Amino acid sequence: MEKQNVPEIFGTMVFDDRVMRARLSSEVYNSLKKTIDENTKLDVDVAEAVAQEMKEWAVEKGATHFTHWFQPLTGVTAEKHDSFISPSPDGGVIMEFSGKELIKGEPDASSFPSGGLRATFEARGYTAWDPTSYAFIKDHTLCIPTAFCSYSGDALDKKTPLLRSMQALDKQAKRILALFGKKVKYVRTSVGSEQEYFLVDEKVFNQRPDLIYTGRTLFGAMPPKGQELDDHYFGVIKPRVTAFMEDLNTELWKLGILAKTEHNEVAPAQHELAPIFSTTNVATDNNQLTMEIMQKVARKHGLVCLLHEKPFAGVNGSGKHNNWSMATDEGVNLLSPGATPYENAQFLLFLTAVIKAVDEYQDLLRLSVATAGNDHRLGANEAPPAIISVFLGDEITAILDAIKSDAPYEGKEREILKLGVHSLPRFSKDTTDRNRTSPFAFTGNKFEFRSLGSSNSIACCNIMLNAAVADALREFADRLEGVENFEEELHNLIKETIKAHERIIFNGNGYTDEWVKEATEVRGLSNLKTTADAMPHLLDEKNKKMLTGLKVFSESELHSRCEIMLENYCKTVNIEGHTMVDMVRKNYLPAIEQNLYNLAKAVSMMKSVSNQVKCKYEVSTMERLSELTDEILDKVEDLEKALADLKGYDEIIKTSEAIRDDVLPKMEKLRKYVDEAEMLSGEKCWPFPSYGKLLFSVY
């Protein structure tokens, strides 16, 4: 493959700041820049000028169509393409694109999930240009990032509440900075979202109905080798995967996506891509694009990219680590401790605001990552538990303990790490280790929220995180503004906050039974294990009050999202259940029956030759397979009944509880017996490719 000149191709398909500065007049550029940086109202004349240059640029790049690219509550993106062509008087066409078309679109709002906000006959919806996220070209189409709302003004997407949450945090953070004598244009949250995924051979994938319909294997016995040797993690990347990664990087770089790090993950066939930090809104758009392009590029290489959180039982699932921080327009990271964090009062105030936010709204953070797929992943194999806690590390924890007890802090000097070989370099050892079991870990100058599933939109968790921190900063600003002795009140506030919320700080092993007991019984932390447990808490009074008070959601929007997310959970598991039934009745039971027939025929033939032949293997296998056939039939009938019973519930919460308590356990029981039958059956007798073929198919 011909090597690309990265600086030359980077952002070539993006109408970014470089393009705007070159193509727009200084007056138009400065006005648009002010709208983007300072959240001011967009001038209609400016939009018209931008539209003309955007169209000319796109046509030069080979674009023939444009679309308002938005993120409805389906979890994926949506787009409706319109061509630039308009008829000309001479019978030909001209290429046109107006400011009105840039600013507003009208997709059908009744065909997307609305959670009761829109009736089927109430079809009108609007998309509105988001100038803070650059337009880009994909598949010869100019894609314009937009917000999506109904005719009544309710947000029907993930972008709108995200922008609202960023606006709320910006407002409250600037109030805090003003108390320290600092005037800034804006405070923005930034995110780097590490993306994990699996790659499997397309031909093998196409032979698995469960992967095709649900994205995960509903059946499958473990092969002799999984991830036990830890030899795949950071291992040499295989040629076929390297070729995929090279093409993927090229496509991402063209779209201005800062793909930085790539490596093999822990499980066989599992990999990771990590970008450089960008503004949360842009990072969210880029991550949605990344997932789409991963899947497209994989198909070009005869592969399928699996983004399900747990496509294979028995090995690591895939997450999406959300690295979150706050920074000013001058590039000052508000979560950077500096050389002497104990003396950095501003850092400590923002730090304690985050601690307070996570403790008070741990349920919101948990439900923001709740999906049917992620429920299978959380709690083991490097995925954090469902219990939300904050890891700070030894140094920061010691500082907070000193403040809490009004004791002097005895700082720990950095140690030089000596490896015992003279030729190896010496370097400073970090003052704290990393905790892979923590859901929310401080990692030096940012927090890493590790609970997201690989297919999640990062918008959901960042909405809740931004809002919760904004609420804490609002309380802090209300208390500190106008006080006579700022330093004394600041010290008291930090000290009181640490004491009130220290229960959320935990630096130990999140996988132990002792931690679960301590967290729930001693500390009073929530343990919302499933989506059915977590999602209804969105409508708790304290959560509604905070989210509506900051104008991140209206109350009706909150109800709609609770409805949509629970409905998605129920539909997902319902599809999985019916897929299991279909595979068992059409494939597994007939295959086992054929296997029994073959064994019986073999025994009969061998006995006809000699009655002295014991046929121990054949007979013992037949007996157990016959027993398993009966068990499988019983369990598939149980599952069918449980699925049918779901139709009797008229409330989505009751349906989700039935899914959790009845359907999922019956699915697990059915799988257990089918997987045992697989181990007793010859490879040629089994109807679907094994885990071994799936996990090692790209090597």
In this prediction, residue 409 carries a pLDDT of 65
Helix axes 280-300, 159-179, angle to 10 degrees: 140
pLDDT digits (tens, 9 = 90+) for 575-598: 999 999 999 999 999 999 999 999
Q: Are 378 and 485 in contact (CB under 8 A)?
A: no
Instruction: Report the alpha-carbon distance of residue 451 to residue 392 in Å, rounded.
Output: 16
Can you read off the two tokens belonging to residue 539?
């409508």
| Residues facing 637 on adjacent strands | none
In this prediction, residue 112 carries a pLDDT of 85
Which amino acid is located at 106 in the chain?
A: E
- Angle made by CA atoms 342, 346, 352, in degrees to the nearest 5: 80
Q: Are 378 and 516 in contact (CB under 8 A)?
A: no
Can you read off the two tokens belonging to residue 41?
């109202």
In the chain, how long is the greatest CA-to-CA distance? 104
Percent of the chain with pLDDT over 90: 73
Mean pLDDT for the stretch of residues 444-463: 94
Among 161, 22, 20, 127, CA closest to 462: 161
Q: Are 579 and 209 in contact (CB under 8 A)?
A: yes
Q: Residue 460 — left, alpha, or beta (φ > 0 → left; ψ -120 to 50 → alpha)?
A: alpha
Mean pLDDT for the stretch of residues 137-141: 96
Model confidence at 94: pLDDT above 70 = no
Q: Are 544 and 578 in contact (CB under 8 A)?
A: no
Spatial neighbors of 242 by CB under 8 A, at least 6 apart, are: none
Q: What is the residue-wise DSSP string for 82-100?
A: EESEEE-TTSSEEE---HH
Model confidence at 427: pLDDT above 50 = no
In this prediction, residue 93 carries a pLDDT of 59
Instruction: Report the alpha-carbon distance of residue 8 to residue 12 in Å, rounded.
Output: 8
Only one residue has tokens 């405070």, namely 187
Model confidence at 418: pLDDT above 70 = no
In this prediction, residue 1 carries a pLDDT of 47
Can you read off the two tokens belonging to residue 5?
């000149």
Mean pLDDT for the stretch of residues 548-554: 97
Can you read off the two tokens belonging to residue 662?
């009845």
pLDDT digits (tens, 9 = 90+) for 502-544: 999 999 998 899 999 999 999 999 999 999 999 999 999 999 9
- Range name among 65-69, 186-190, 236-240, 284-288 with the lowest pLDDT average: 236-240
Model confidence at 254: pLDDT above 60 = yes
Model confidence at 305: pLDDT above 80 = yes
Percent of the chain with pLDDT over 70: 93
Among 48, 42, 163, 151, CA closest to 107: 151
Please tell me whether residue 618 adopts helix, strand or coil conformation: helix
Mean pLDDT for the stretch of residues 554-568: 95
Q: Are 217 and 207 in contact (CB under 8 A)?
A: no
The residue that leads in pLDDT, 348 or 232, is 348
Model confidence at 340: pLDDT above 80 = no
Instruction: Report the alpha-carbon distance of residue 334 to residue 465 in Å, rounded.
Output: 15
Model confidence at 448: pLDDT above 70 = yes
Q: Are 666 and 209 in contact (CB under 8 A)?
A: no
Model confidence at 342: pLDDT above 90 = no
pLDDT digits (tens, 9 = 90+) for 622-663: 999 999 999 999 999 999 999 999 999 999 999 999 999 999
Instruction: Report the alpha-carbon distance of residue 532 to residue 655 in Å, rounded.
Output: 9
pTM here is 0.93
Q: Residue 230: which pLDDT band, with cuts at 50, 70 and 90?
A: confident
